[in-house]
Amino acid sequence: MSKIVIISFITLLVSLLPHSALSITTSEKENLITIRNQVFGGSTLNASLTQTTLSGETPPVFPYHLHDRVLLTWQIKPSEIEQFASAIELPPYLSVSKVSSLTESKLHRRFAAWLNKQNGSSFSLFSQQDKHYYLMADIAQTSGAEQGLKVEWKTFVTVAGSTQIQVYRFASFKEIPGNDLLELNTLTPSEITLDKLKGRIRSSLISTSGYVLELDIPIGRSTQGKTFSQAYLDAAENTLGPKGAQTRYYYDGSSVSARLHKVKINKATVSSTFPWSEYAHNLVEVIIPKDDMSFMAQPVTANVTVQSPALGPADCYNPMIPNSLSKQYACLVASAFGAPDMGIPPTPPQKVFESMFANTPPMYIPTFYFALQDLYQGLSTLGGISKPTLFFELKTAPKTIFINFEINPNKVKAFKKAFLPSHFKLAKMRFYPEQKKAVYAISLNLYESRGANLNGIRAEWSTYVINPLEDNPKPRFSVIEAQSNVGGLDPLYTLQRLRNGDVPLPFRIESIESIIQSPNPTLTYQFAEETGIQAYLINNEHNSELNIDIAYPTNSNQLFTKPLTSWMEANDYVYWGEVAEILKYDRQVMFADLMVFEATDKDVIHDTTFAEYVKPKPLPIVVWLGGQSIALQPWGNLESIEPE
């Protein structure tokens, strides 16, 4: 049965189910899209106007997608590393580094996590074995932040004074001139082809200098038992480019659990006349994901000191000459917006960028370039062309914690009926390897965040669901209650306000207060080794109370472990009813260090929020030992929802 027929059948079944209060109508969907685009698009423009994009307070992030990706990997002989480094004109502050294989099995990933705990033991010697120098050719059809076919040549490096291994992209070729996340823009097109046919994939590159890369690779329909390795994901997370360029790539399950075609490497035909290929003696891996891969890209640029309060758009016409970077950027923003009330039209983007390149000090050109790109991304969001993006971080003080409660088996049916869209399934979850039994659960997540629209303490209660209408249905987070000491905006509360007639329609940004949930001043949260964990809130609307006072665990009661991949991939879609935030994350999420411990009888854990559905004693408490960096598309699945 084809995928289209299966999806159609599921859609038919869903249409026959009774409608849930969490389902949305066509008009509600249209209103939510309008609200999302105006609020979050406006937030992006506000970051440009207040120059927080420029200062680094709200760094821009851009969606980036790869289709029909092919990653070729050759080993380089240790005796030829110096010649290879010279051939790729490696900067003197970088050194080519050895890494483990780019792919690994799930068993190997679990073994590597265990090895990571064996500091000082003889077992740790295994982690130093089987590492090599590599050359990579990365080929894909790109969309989002970049467009068109692209071939990138890469290797692994370390920066002088650091032990962190990173990917270094030393050459790039594009079919379509335009944005480049590590070179700002590429003006010269190259001849590139990429054809994924039945049973094989063919590609070719002819550079403007006449160098050629050609490949013809037979691929199987079956999936190999490996996926991208943690070593590769960690190194690729912060990718370096020439002249000090750097971009962070936040990823999701399409990378961590990518399904890879089986490839008979001995039947692959690959030839290259590029000068560095002289040192690529042994093609060791051909990695071809079966599905598209999605990222959020965050260029790393020099921060600019801005005035406080920041300058608004300034008059940018002669003879006025900006006497600071902050004023110069304000002028560019003013030029981009124009002054319609004065009969001054917006300057075309090409002219704005030409002015920026001509007048900006070289060190700050990337900062201005991507800040302006973010401004136009905000305008595109306001116009309904692009989806909005956000970036936020979870602080390390106080640490993030999860208090997980198992749902009583005799309450599962009632809970699902009360809190899930009718076609969603409730999913069981295991949180870490040592937890033997998967359970239906409600997770209380306490954290403090910083970033666009998300500065403050939050308490979120989530369960785990499967939406059968996803392309690849998996367990996902589903937030069923949230409180914050600074207020917030979420689609469930907005939908409720729309249904109550509390939101003026058609929606205008001036009405934003009508959809902002009021802060809860009673919410407090502290975490310290000396005093333990305390949290408190009163929710008068739902007549519920949270009171937590937990002693910091003794050494003998501490388990140090990692989260299970399935739990972290539940972050890919964080649902609020049918509407989902689409998240991308870094190693601090997927491969986080956790401390897990059992609460004692002396600890106070009093939570009446969902007390009628859960067992009174929580599962072991999970503590995040590091921070988290998260990029997302808020309400990102709205367009794909089938309304009532």
- The three-state secondary structure class of 139 is strand
Which of 283, 299, 315 is the C-terminal boundary of a domain? 299
pLDDT score recorded for residue 220: 87
Which of 267, 299, 331 is the C-terminal boundary of a domain? 299
- Tell me the two tokens of residue 484: 């914050």
Other C-beta atoms closer than 10 Å to the C-beta of 198 total 6
Task: Evaluate whether residue 229 is within a structural domain.
Answer: yes
pLDDT score recorded for residue 128: 53
| Claim to verify: residue 163 and residue 287 sit in the same structural domain | yes
| Claim to verify: residue 477 and residue 611 sit in the same structural domain | yes
pLDDT score recorded for residue 203: 98
For residue range 599-613, what is the model confidence (pLDDT) as tens digits? 999 999 999 999 999
pLDDT score recorded for residue 451: 86
Contact indicator for 557, 597 with CB cutoff of 8 Å: yes
pLDDT score recorded for residue 480: 98
| Claim to verify: residue 252 and residue 394 sit in the same structural domain | no
Question: Helix 325-337 vs helix 365-382: angle between axes, to the nearest 10 degrees?
Answer: 30
Q: Is the pTM of this model over 0.95?
A: no
Distance, in Å, from the CA atom of 130 to the CA atom of 112, rounded to the nearest integer, reads: 13
| 353 secondary structure, DSSP code | H
| Claim to verify: residue 200 and residue 96 sit in the same structural domain | yes
| Claim to verify: residue 274 and residue 403 sit in the same structural domain | no
For residue range 480-528, what is the model confidence (pLDDT) as tens digits? 999 999 988 999 999 999 999 999 999 999 999 999 999 999 999 999 9
- Tell me the two tokens of residue 90: 């490696």
pLDDT score recorded for residue 644: 78
Distance, in Å, from the CA atom of 427 to the CA atom of 442, rounded to the nearest integer, reads: 11
Task: Evaluate whether residue 24 is within a structural domain.
Answer: no
| Claim to verify: residue 295 and residue 393 sit in the same structural domain | no
Name residues of the chain where pLDDT drops below 50.
Answer: 1-19, 122-124, 318-319
Expressed as residue numbers, the domain containing 544 is 389-485+520-640
pLDDT score recorded for residue 116: 61
Q: Which residues contact 55 (CB under 8 A, 6 or more apart)?
A: 303, 304, 305, 306
Residue type, 632: L
Which of 243, 269, 299 is the C-terminal boundary of a domain? 299
pLDDT score recorded for residue 11: 37
Task: Evaluate whether residue 507 is within a structural domain.
Answer: no
Task: Evaluate whether residue 240 is within a structural domain.
Answer: yes
| Claim to verify: residue 528 and residue 427 sit in the same structural domain | yes
Q: What is the CATH number of the domain that holds 524?
A: 2.40.400
Distance, in Å, from the CA atom of 39 to the CA atom of 294, rounded to the nearest integer, reads: 24
| Claim to verify: residue 295 and residue 398 sit in the same structural domain | no
Number of domains making up the chain? 2
Task: Evaluate whether residue 619 is within a structural domain.
Answer: yes
Task: Evaluate whether residue 539 is within a structural domain.
Answer: yes
Task: Evaluate whether residue 604 is within a structural domain.
Answer: yes
| Claim to verify: residue 111 and residue 246 sit in the same structural domain | yes
Unique residue bearing structure tokens 């295994």? 126
Task: Evaluate whether residue 40 is within a structural domain.
Answer: no
